[in-house]
């Protein structure tokens, strides 16, 4: 190994490596620091988000990460609506890391939890309204008229007498005026842009290649790194033979970190060939005998001791004589995020000590926290850490984790060169940060009239709160992510006990699209279907009768059933299933039409989704998000599984971790219900209902209840 690199590495790891190793899985989250973005020359910039220049160009800065969900369009729409901007003059830029752009729901600059629109609904509208009032005041002063005699439209201030001034002509005067503290917002009935299908601002750049993702970054003298990562949290490389790796043409350095061994080369292919040539002996520690069977057993133990009670009502033990009782065990596996763009980060650490500066280019969901984390990694002040947020080729929660930015920064600091770290697909699949595996044991009871009277759920699952590094499990012991979708289910059942039992089989767990709802809605919506079957009731009518106190749930359930033609005849061999869920402030019901092939594989022909996400920004984006969420959830239901044998992950790429193919895609209909409620999230709520809707349709066709994910096609062959 290169002597200088080895010496530098030893020195660094002696001073800070232990802390950095801990940061990889349990990191501190300092908020972003710095000042609000300075206004461009001659621009009207009344707040951090907005610049208007004399040429009438309106630029909106977006502090959230664009990962396909449409924030680079939604954020400008919020501001442009209240500004009364001419949409054809509006452009968007990615904001720098600055506390001015912190997500109001997080208190830090980060993107996740389907929060961007609902968090910025008022702040961005107020920013636009304040600017509009200042422009009106500037025009009124020029014309020596009352501001109340002026109105705005399409980037102009218009006086009742007919005079008209463009926003660009008013920027100098408006810049001298005080910013209103309480601008008047429009009534929804007066919206001209919000609630209307609008073309995305980021589409042209994606079509012509000018939009840049993290993996596109190129710098002078750039080294590319591929890293053999520890196969389990806590595993360590105890012996590294890098002779063959160094013999690969183009390889420049081999660097061992606490979390793996990296090969740095002149290009990606040389780095990968060098990494593949490494001979590493790993100490897997307590995970050496980890298997999927052991995971299931440990989760069962957690469910058996579930004593952290999230909800208790009545007495679940007081089941009257003559009641119909039923019980069931449900299980879901660990899941990878499988982003189309694998994790990557380019880092350039220059200088040492107080003079050190760090610049990274990454598709990250947590640029604010990353700035603080990397200041610790590189021992630089946060103000000297620059984070360039690139487009994300899929996030799904995975890019909220900082591991790839930490490792790239370490490698640049040690090598003294700019380094682009790229995970191979196989590395990414095996690198941890999985959706938790989970087991839930249900018990239920029905009275003589077939009404649900008792529900008990005991959940065994790892804790995302504990794994996050920035959350603490509350004193009652309930991890809210492990219980969401179950603890807050909508059904009016008198006797309930819903409890959590923490179980930690070992793999690193993390936020996955819709988080706990992704498995828990499958569990509870399937069990509610079981209760309906036991009551000999129609699954839709059974649910509706339990939702009399939940009007928004009931409305989407009824809308989905009506639009899908619930109760009407279907083609031979096709059956329907239904499920409903609330997550991230939005309500979604889905009806799936499914047939079963002779090979036992379900084929989903049609999905009808009814959505209440409150007031809408861009219905076209909402429809696409629901479609994408259904693809993601259906892929998990049909194929998704991370399994373990002898302490290692068995899956490596899409050949053994498949996703839905184009020829498997069902026809999706999205029906958005009108609402006057504040906006909910939309990136995730479409995922949870699809697995139970499909499973319930399969039961309707075969009488076979699917209680584990992914669906067991071998068992269905015999159905």
pLDDT per position as a tens digit, 369-399: 999 999 999 999 999 999 999 999 999 999 9
Burial class, 326, CB count within 10 angstroms (exposed 0-12 / middle 13-18 / buried 19+): middle
Choose among 437, 522, 521: nearest CA to 705: 522
Q: Comparing 105 with 7, which gets the higher pLDDT? A: 105
Q: Do residues 55 and 171 touch, judged by C-beta distance below 8 A?
A: no
Q: Do residues 17 and 258 touch, judged by C-beta distance below 8 A?
A: yes
Q: What is the pLDDT of residue 430?
A: 87
How far apart, in whole angstroms, are the C-alpha atoms of residue 562 and residue 571?
A: 18
Does residue 27 have a pLDDT over 50?
no
All structural domains of the chain with their residue ranges: 31-205, 214-285+343-422, 292-335+433-717
Does this model's pTM top 0.85?
yes
Q: Do residues 620 and 645 touch, judged by C-beta distance below 8 A?
A: no
Mean pLDDT, range 315-332, rounded to an integer: 95
Does residue 142 have a pLDDT over 50?
yes
Q: Do residues 711 and 602 touch, judged by C-beta distance below 8 A?
A: yes
Alpha helices, DSSP H, located in 13-114? 18-23, 71-83
Beta bridge partners, 325, equal 445
The CATH number given to 292-335+433-717 is 3.30.365.10
One-letter-per-residue 3-state SS of 229-288 = ECCCCCCEEEEEECHHHHCCCCEEEEEEECCEEEEEECCHHHHHHHHHCCEEEEECHHHC
Listed range (18-32, 77-91, 167-181) with the worst mean pLDDT:
18-32
The sign of the CA dihedral 628, 634, 639, 644 is positive
Q: What's the distance, CA 258 to chain centroid?
A: 28
Q: Do residues 274 and 251 touch, judged by C-beta distance below 8 A?
A: yes
**Token output for 142:** 């020029």
Q: Comparing 599 with 524, which gets the higher pLDDT? A: 524
Residue 557: pLDDT band (50, 70, 90) is very high
**Token output for 672:** 């958005």
Q: Comparing 195 with 258, which gets the higher pLDDT? A: 195
Q: Are strands 58-62 and 90-94 parallel, antiparallel or unpaired?
A: parallel
Q: What is the DSSP letter of 688?
A: T
Does residue 19 have a pLDDT over 90?
no
Query: What's the Cα-to-Cα distance from 293 to each of 75, 137, 289, 298, 510, rounded to whole Å?
Result: 46, 70, 11, 9, 21
Helix (H, G, I), strand (E, B) or coil at 629: helix
Task: Decide yes or no: CATH 3.40.50.300 for domain 214-285+343-422.
Answer: no
How far apart, in whole angstroms, are the C-alpha atoms of residue 675 and residue 282?
A: 56
Mean pLDDT, range 438-457, rounded to an integer: 97
Mean pLDDT, range 298-308, rounded to an integer: 98
Q: What is the DSSP letter of 718?
A: T
Q: Do residues 546 and 532 touch, judged by C-beta distance below 8 A?
A: no
In the block, which residue shows the tokens 């009502």? Answer: 313
Domains 31-205 and 214-285+343-422 share a fold: yes
For the chain, first and last CA: distance in Å? 59
Burial class, 463, CB count within 10 angstroms (exposed 0-12 / middle 13-18 / buried 19+): buried
In the block, which residue shows the tokens 């990274």? Answer: 360
Q: Do residues 84 and 155 touch, judged by C-beta distance below 8 A?
A: yes
Does residue 9 have a pLDDT over 70?
no
Q: Do residues 699 and 596 touch, judged by C-beta distance below 8 A?
A: no
The Cβ of residue 462 has, within 10 Å, a number of other Cβ atoms equal to: 27
Mean pLDDT, range 239-245, rounded to an integer: 97
Q: Do residues 147 and 179 touch, judged by C-beta distance below 8 A?
A: no
Does residue 15 have a pLDDT over 60?
no
Listed range (174-178, 272-276, 598-602, 638-642) with the worst mean pLDDT:
598-602
**Token output for 470:** 């920035």
Q: What is the DSSP letter of 51?
A: E
Question: Mean pLDDT score of the chain, rounded to an integer?
Answer: 93
Residue 718: pLDDT band (50, 70, 90) is confident
Q: What is the pLDDT of residue 34?
A: 39
Beta bridge partners, 439, equal 331, 460
Listed range (15-19, 654-658, 696-700) with the worst mean pLDDT:
15-19
How far apart, in whole angstroms, are the C-alpha atoms of residue 92 and residue 328?
A: 51
In the block, which residue shows the tokens 């750049």? Answer: 205
**Token output for 574:** 């096709």
Q: What is the pLDDT of residue 714?
A: 87
**Token output for 62:** 């977006």
Mean pLDDT, range 184-206, rounded to an integer: 97
Q: What is the pLDDT of residue 352?
A: 86
Within 375-447, strands assigned E span 385-389, 419-422, 438-446
Q: Which helix (H) or strand (E) holds 139?
A: helix 116-143
How far apart, in whole angstroms, are the C-alpha atoms of residue 650 and residue 512?
A: 20
Which residues make Cβ contacts (< 8 Å) with residue 46, sequence separation at least 6? 127, 130, 131, 134, 174, 175, 179
The sign of the CA dihedral 348, 351, 352, 354 is negative
Neighbour order of strands in the sheet with 324-332: 308-313, 495-502, 452-461, 438-446, 324-332
Query: What's the Cα-to-Cα distance from 14 to each of 324, 363, 413, 624, rounded to whole Å?
Result: 65, 30, 14, 49
Q: Do residues 261 and 271 touch, judged by C-beta distance below 8 A?
A: no
Helix (H, G, I), strand (E, B) or coil at 684: coil
Q: What is the pLDDT of residue 26?
A: 38
Q: What is the pLDDT of residue 476?
A: 97
Q: What's the distance, CA 122 to chain centroid?
A: 22
Query: What's the Cα-to-Cα distance from 546 to each of 175, 319, 542, 556, 661, rounded to whole Å?
Result: 57, 19, 7, 14, 37
Does residue 13 have a pLDDT over 90?
no
Q: Do residues 452 and 324 touch, judged by C-beta distance below 8 A?
A: no
The CATH number given to 31-205 is 3.30.365.10
Q: Do residues 639 and 702 touch, judged by C-beta distance below 8 A?
A: no
Within 119-241, strands assigned E span 150-153, 156-159, 164-166, 223-229, 236-241
Q: Do residues 582 and 490 touch, judged by C-beta distance below 8 A?
A: yes
How far apart, in whole angstroms, are the C-alpha atoms of residue 292 and residue 146?
A: 73
Q: Do residues 111 and 65 touch, judged by C-beta distance below 8 A?
A: yes
Residue 320: pLDDT band (50, 70, 90) is confident
Q: What is the pLDDT of residue 321?
A: 87
Does residue 262 have a pLDDT over 90?
yes
Q: What is the pLDDT of residue 486?
A: 98
In the block, which residue shows the tokens 């996030």? Answer: 395
């Amino acid at each position: 190994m290169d002597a200088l690199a080895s010496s530098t590495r030893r020195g660094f790891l002696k001073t800070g490596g232990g802390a950095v190793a801990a940061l990889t899985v349990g990191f501190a989250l300092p908020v972003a620091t710095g000042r609000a973005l300075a206004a461009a020359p001659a621009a009207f910039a009344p707040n951090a988000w907005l610049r208007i220049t004399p040429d009438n160009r309106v630029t909106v800065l977006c502090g959230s990460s664009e990962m396909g969900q449409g924030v680079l369009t939604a954020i400008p729409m919020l501001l442009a609506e209240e500004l009364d901007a001419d949409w054809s003059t509006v452009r968007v830029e990615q904001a720098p890391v600055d506390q001015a752009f912190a997500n109001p729901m997080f208190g830090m600059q980060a993107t996740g939890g389907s929060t961007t629109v609902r968090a910025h609904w008022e702040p961005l509208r107020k920013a636009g309204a304040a600017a509009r009032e200042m422009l009106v005041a500037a025009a009124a002063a020029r014309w020596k008229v009352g501001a109340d005699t002026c109105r705005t439209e399409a980037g102009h201030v218009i006086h009742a007498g007919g005079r008209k001034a463009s926003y660009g002509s008013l920027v100098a005067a408006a810049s001298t005026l005080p910013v209103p503290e309480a601008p008047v917002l429009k009534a929804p009935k007066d919206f001209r842009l919000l609630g209307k299908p609008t073309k995305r601002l980021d589409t042209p750049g994606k079509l012509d290649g000018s939009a840049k993702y993290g993996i596109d970054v190129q710098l002078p003298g750039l080294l590319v790194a591929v890293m053999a990562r520890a196969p389990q949290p806590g595993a360590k490389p105890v012996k590294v033979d890098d002779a063959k790796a160094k013999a690969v043409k183009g390889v420049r350095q081999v660097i061992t970190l606490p979390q793996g061994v990296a090969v740095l080369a002149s290009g990606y292919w040389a780095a990968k060939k060098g990494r593949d040539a490494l001979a590493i002996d790993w100490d897997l520690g307590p995970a050496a005998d980890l298997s999927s069977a052991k995971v299931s057993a440990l989760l069962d133990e957690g469910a058996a001791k579930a004593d952290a009670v999230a909800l208790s009502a009545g007495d679940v033990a007081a089941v009257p004589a003559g009641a119909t009782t039923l019980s069931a065990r449900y299980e879901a596996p660990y899941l990878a995020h499988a982003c189309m763009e694998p994790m990557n980060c380019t880092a350039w650490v220059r200088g040492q000590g107080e003079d050190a500066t760090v610049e990274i280019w990454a598709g990250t969901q947590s640029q604010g926290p990353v700035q603080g984390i990397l200041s610790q990694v590189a021992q630089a002040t946060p103000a000297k850490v620059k984070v360039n947020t690139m487009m994300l080729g899929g996030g799904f929660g995975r890019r909220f984790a900082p591991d790839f930015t930490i490792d790239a920064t370490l490698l640049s600091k040690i090598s003294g060169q700019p380094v682009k770290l790229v995970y191979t697909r196989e590395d990414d699949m095996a690198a941890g940060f999985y959706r938790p595996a989970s087991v839930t044991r249900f018990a239920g009871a029905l009275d003589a009239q077939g009404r649900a009277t008792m529900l008990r759920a005991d959940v065994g699952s790892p804790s995302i709160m504990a794994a996050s590094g920035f959350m603490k499990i509350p004193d009652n012991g309930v991890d809210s992510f492990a219980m969401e979708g179950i603890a807050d289910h909508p059904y009016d059942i008198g006797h309930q006990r819903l409890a959590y039992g923490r179980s930690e089989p070992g793999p690193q767990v993390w936020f996955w699209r819709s988080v706990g709802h992704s498995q828990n809605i499958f569990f509870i919506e399937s069990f509610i279907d079981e209760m309906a079957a036991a009551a000999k009731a129609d699954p839709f009518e059974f649910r509706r009768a339990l939702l009399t106190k939940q009007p928004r749930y009931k409305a989407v359930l009824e809308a989905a059933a009506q639009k899908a033609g619930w109760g009407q005849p279907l083609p031979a061999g096709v059956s329907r299933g239904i499920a409903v869920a609330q997550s991230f402030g939005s309500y979604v019901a889905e009806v799936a039409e499914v047939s079963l092939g002779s090979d036992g594989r379900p084929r989903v022909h049609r999905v009808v989704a009814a959505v209440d996400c409150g007031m809408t920004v861009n219905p076209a984006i909402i429809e696409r998000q629901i479609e994408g969420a259904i693809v993601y959830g259906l892929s998990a239901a049909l194929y998704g599984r991370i399994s373990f044998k002898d302490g290692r992950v068995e899956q490596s790429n899409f050949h053994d971790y498949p996703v839905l193919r184009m020829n498997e895609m069902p026809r999706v209909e999205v029906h958005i219900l009108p609402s006057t409620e504040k906006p909910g999230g939309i990136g995730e709520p479409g995922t949870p209902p699809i697995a139970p809707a499909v499973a319930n349709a399969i039961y309707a066709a075969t009488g076979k209840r699917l209680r584990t994910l992914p669906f067991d096609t071998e068992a269905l062959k015999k159905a």
